[in-house]
């Protein structure tokens, strides 16, 4: 699939810091892989080759002069195109942001750069992160590197595909309802949705602010731990950032699962889950048991309402967040004879169908007369889900479920049926509503030979324990 030898992020950083590999040669190799493979895969909206080479040379100069470039020294990183990058276009895969160049970097971009990482480009996504297949991009879909006739999942499908194809060892995505975990599962890579507030959202273009979190895609669990340790931590510029510094995840990665109580989440593991996906979950449970975990069935009854609550709350917040694209402040402007006419013309031609659908759903759910019946009710359901999880955490340290009910589906299969598309998120959305941590770990393949992901769920700030289970699963394959 690719000429790049599959070095992990951790290996690259060690090799670059020791002078065994130059950052420049690492970056050049990945840029060649992108040039060869991306015309078909279309993981990237923008490849920043010149900036990446210049940055790599800076890292090499630092090494040559005896300075430590940091824990991500020379590691190529692919950024979802809803993360602001100073001087580099950020489109959210939408026409409405065409021509907009952010004047600042997102907090995660600053942190990765400060740690020595090299940004190689911005990745394709569903427009404004609304979707589960990356087919809602204004720039055309991304293809799954494992099978080009299939979707990579979404909305962070470009970052997942970039990592799966070997274009970059690290991708960043955003997860509002599953947009890191689901594409990670469908592309066969590791994807992490950290606890809400663990990673700063400063510079992430907002979709649904009470649900959005940024997290990594990598090929190994240890790489995700290393990236999370770099990007997490307090940030005064995000009012929802957790104030206290968190323990490093990488330090306890090899502590195993002996004695941990792990629940199989019944509501997310039964009806609607394809038999081959269910079989992989059973295999994962067996591996955790063999490693000394105590596994039992767990129930979070209100989780079955997760999808319904999510598809009211997320559009409601989106309808408010997207009000700022009015033709005045960002990107596209379509002129008209009056200002309201200009606003309407800009929004009508700048937004795609799914974004318009979400804005209409959200505006309806928030409107006087319907607020209590829709948005208010959904918020009550959200509290029920939070409470049900709180009682399950009294009995279990971790929970497991499939990440996605099916493997990667064919391009075009669900585009005409929004509800079928929304069903892709049934296993992932509950955790966004509660703010808890969850990740997807690749665990073999289904009947069609395509990757299956197992989801591990942890209580808020349970990342260290969650990663221990992920490491056990990875090692058991
Ligand atoms: N697929 C879900 C949606 O369309 C989740 C998106 C996301 O997590 N950004 O809303």
Residue 341 pLDDT more than 90?
A: yes
Quick one: pLDDT at residue 6? 82
Quick one: pLDDT at residue 42? 98
Record: fold of 9-245: Amidase signature (AS) enzymes (3.90.1300)
Beta bridge partners of 78: 121, 171
Mean pLDDT along residues 313-317: 98
Quick one: pLDDT at residue 3? 47
State how far the Cα of 368 lies from the Cα of 430, in Å rounded to an integer: 27
pLDDT digits (tens, 9 = 90+) for 36-51: 999 999 999 999 999 9
Element (H, E) at 454: strand 451-458
Top mutation candidate among 425, 429, 433 for ligand 1, by most atoms within 8 Å of CB: 425
Per-residue pLDDT band at 1 (split at 50, 70, 90): very low
Residue showing tokens 């600042």 = 104
The catalytic residue positions are 80, 155, 179
Cα(303) to ligand 1 centroid in Å equals 17
Q: For 385-439, give the DSSP string.
A: HHHHHHHHTTT-SEEEEESSSSSPPBTTSSTT-HHHHHGGGTTTHHHHHHT-EEE
State the pTM of this model: 0.97
Query: What are the pocket residues of ligand 1 if the criterion is a CB atom closer than 6 Å to any ligand atom?
Result: 129-132, 155, 174-179, 207, 314, 425
pLDDT digits (tens, 9 = 90+) for 115-163: 999 999 999 999 999 999 999 999 999 999 999 999 999 999 999 999 9
Mean pLDDT along residues 306-330: 97
Top mutation candidate among 124, 129, 404 for ligand 1, by most atoms within 8 Å of CB: 129
User: Can you list the positions of beta strands (E) in 152-289?
Assistant: 170-175, 190-193, 213-218, 261-265
The domain limits of the chain are: 9-245
Residue 239 pLDDT more than 80?
A: yes
């Amino acid at each position: 699939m690719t000429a790049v030898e599959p070095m992990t992020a951790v290996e690259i950083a060690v090799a670059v810091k020791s002078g065994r590999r130059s950052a420049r040669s690492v970056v050049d190799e990945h840029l060649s892989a992108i040039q060869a493979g991306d015309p078909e895969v279309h993981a990237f909206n923008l490849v920043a080759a010149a900036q990446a080479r210049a940055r790599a040379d800076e890292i090499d100069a630092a090494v040559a002069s005896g300075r430590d470039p940091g824990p991500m020294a020379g590691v190529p990183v692919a950024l979802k195109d809803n993360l602001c990058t100073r001087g580099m276009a950020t489109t959210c895969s939408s026409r409405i942001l065409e021509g907009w160049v952010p004047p600042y970097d997102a907090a995660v971009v600053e942190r990765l750069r400060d740690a020595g990482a090299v940004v190689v480009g911005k990745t394709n996504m569903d427009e404004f992160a609304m979707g589960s297949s990356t087919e809602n991009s204004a720039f055309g879909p991304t293809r799954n590197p494992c099978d080009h006739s299939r979707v990579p999942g979404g909305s962070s499908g470009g970052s997942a595909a970039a990592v799966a194809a070997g274009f970059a060892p690290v991708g960043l995505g955003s997860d509002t309802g599953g947009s890191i975990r689901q594409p990670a599962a469908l592309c066969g890579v590791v994807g992490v949705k950290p606890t809400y507030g663990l990673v700063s959202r400063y510079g992430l273009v907002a979709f649904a602010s009470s649900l959005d979190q940024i997290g990594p895609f990598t090929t190994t669990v240890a790489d995700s731990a290393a990236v999370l340790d770099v990007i997490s931590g307090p940030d005064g510029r995000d009012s929802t950032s957790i104030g206290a510094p968190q323990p490093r995840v990488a330090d306890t990665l090899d502590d195993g699962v002996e004695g941990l109580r792990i629940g199989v989440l019944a509501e997310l593991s039964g009806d609607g889950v394809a038999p081959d996906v269910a079989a992989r979950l059973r295999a994962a449970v067996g591996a955790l048991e063999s490693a000394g975990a105590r596994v039992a069935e767990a129930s979070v009854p209100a989780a079955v309402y997760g999808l319904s609550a999510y598809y009211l709350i997320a559009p409601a917040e989106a309808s408010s967040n997207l009000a700022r694209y009015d033709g005045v402040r960002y990107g596209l402007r379509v002129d008209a004879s009056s200002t309201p006419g200009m606003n309407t013309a800009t929004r009508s031609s700048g937004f795609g169908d799914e974004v318009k659908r979400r804005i209409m759903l959200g505006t309806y759910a928030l409107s006087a007369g319907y607020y209590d019946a829709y948005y208010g009710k959904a918020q009550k359901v959200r509290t029920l889900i939070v409470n049900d999880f709180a009682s399950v955490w009294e009995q279990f340290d971790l929970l497991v479920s499939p990440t996605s009910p099916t493997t990667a589906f064919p391009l075009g299969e669900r585009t005409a049926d929004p509800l079928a598309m929304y069903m892709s998120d049934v296993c992932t959305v509950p955790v966004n509503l509660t703010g808890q941590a969850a990740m997807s770990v690749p665990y073999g393949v289904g009947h069609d030979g395509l990757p299956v992901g197992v989801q591990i769920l942890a209580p808020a700030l349970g990342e260290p324990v969650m990663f221990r289970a992920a490491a056990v699963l990875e090692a058991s394959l």
